[in-house]
Structure 1
Amino acid sequence: MKNLLLVLSLVFFISSCQDKKEEITAQEIIDKTIEKSGGANYKKATIEFKFREHTYKSVRNGGEYRLERTTVDSTGTFVDVLSNTGFERLRGDSLVKVQDSMALRIGSSVNSVHYFANLPYGLNDRAVNKQLAGETIIKGEPYYQLKITFQQDGGGEDHHDEFMYWIHKDNFTVDYLAYKFHGSERGIRFRVVYNPRVIEGIRFVDYENYSVEDFNIDLRDLGKMYENGALEFVSNIENENVQVQIRK
């Protein structure tokens, strides 16, 4: 009997250790996902791509960054720049004065495109709040669900927005994401990753973009709604001609 109790105690101890070992935090999931998608390459990369009618360029050097959007119209070429020092608009070598309210709106738009293009890198920004919001199965594949919100300090103009990321439990890739945006044109979007490719060690993707009318829906429900065909297709989000240079 004593031997049986000893064996049972040992089995319970090993089982308890395995359960503890299998626990994972939101931060650990994000760290593994960033490492899987590019890791340290993000911090020393110059990335250029075309999205719709604009050309975008990001230059990162450790904690320093410069995010650009170049537009060509009938009046010429101008570049909107968002960096550690703030926002500015350039036309040629000349600085163009922009009202503060407009600069905030344009800077937010430039940041948004670069944010999605470089995911999951931005999930470790200082203003990001991370929470493991359960696990689920979508189309037979297992996912962690991560809820992302932003602090007001450093969270930008859209710090009230709420995000949900579905990260594959084995591959540690972002395969689906959703966000609820507030303001005058509030709404919900659900994105499905397609066309993943790795360029110079960094993973890039395109998205199928979906919406749903009910603003009060829990973002965690959108994965199953997509699986059941209950979302409305909006558009494709495609970054073209992606070019990457990694500094040695």
Structure 2
Amino acid sequence: MKLANVQIKVDENNVKDRKKQLKLAKIQIEVSRNNVKDLEANLKDILRRLKDEETLFEQGSSTRSQLDVLQLQYLRGEIALKNTILGLERAMQEIDRAKLNVDNSILSLERSREDIKGSELSVENALIAVERSSHDVELSEDALEDTLIKAKIGGIITAKSFQEGEVITAGAVLFQIIDIKQVEIKIQLGEGDLPMISEGQAVVFTTPGYRDIEFSGIIERISWTADPETGRFPLYVKAANPGLKLRAGMSAKVYLLRQK
């Protein structure tokens, strides 16, 4: 756009210069025409004097030298008139070229203005295309967002209820996910042991897979109702999973730590 504006400025200056040249050419033509008129009048006067001088010379009242002077003046006047007429013709040709230069400069200026209009239109079209592309991106992102399924917790998918391409009904369970950063251990506790435990109490436990490692945890909650089959109360231990060694389905031996 800046380059186009510079070109328009150059073309405008060219038009001004060509118009000045045309004006000067017209002035030069007018000067040449006046010179032709003056030379023609002067040449007529010399011719009149020359004829008078020839008559006097024939009558013996004038000398050859006087006649020669007038003849020389007339010859010089003719040459000056011819040169001036030739200059006038050249000036006429020059004014034609000057007019053509003005027309060409105006045409170039109009082209430059059309070019900048075209450039501005291209910029506007490009901006519209960018807006459309941005809108399309937003629509695509929204459509992509609709295809994403987000779980409330992070973890590992242990079961998948549907395959790709199947129709899913509202409220259907799609996956089973476990959070492997922490584990939950379910313990069956007899009624007589309930007074010795409380929520938040610390425990340690071991697993057959890692016999030499003691894992730490706390009692997260104690069920208010007993299991009808065993008569025992479910107790749930929450523990961290350092190194992600513990896996779902592993057995564990839990040791309750007495409260001080």
* Structure possessing the higher radius of gyration over alpha carbons: 2
Give the TM-score normalised by structure 1: 0.21
Q: Which structure shows the bigger proportion of residues in strand conformation?
A: 1
Give the TM-score normalised by structure 2: 0.20
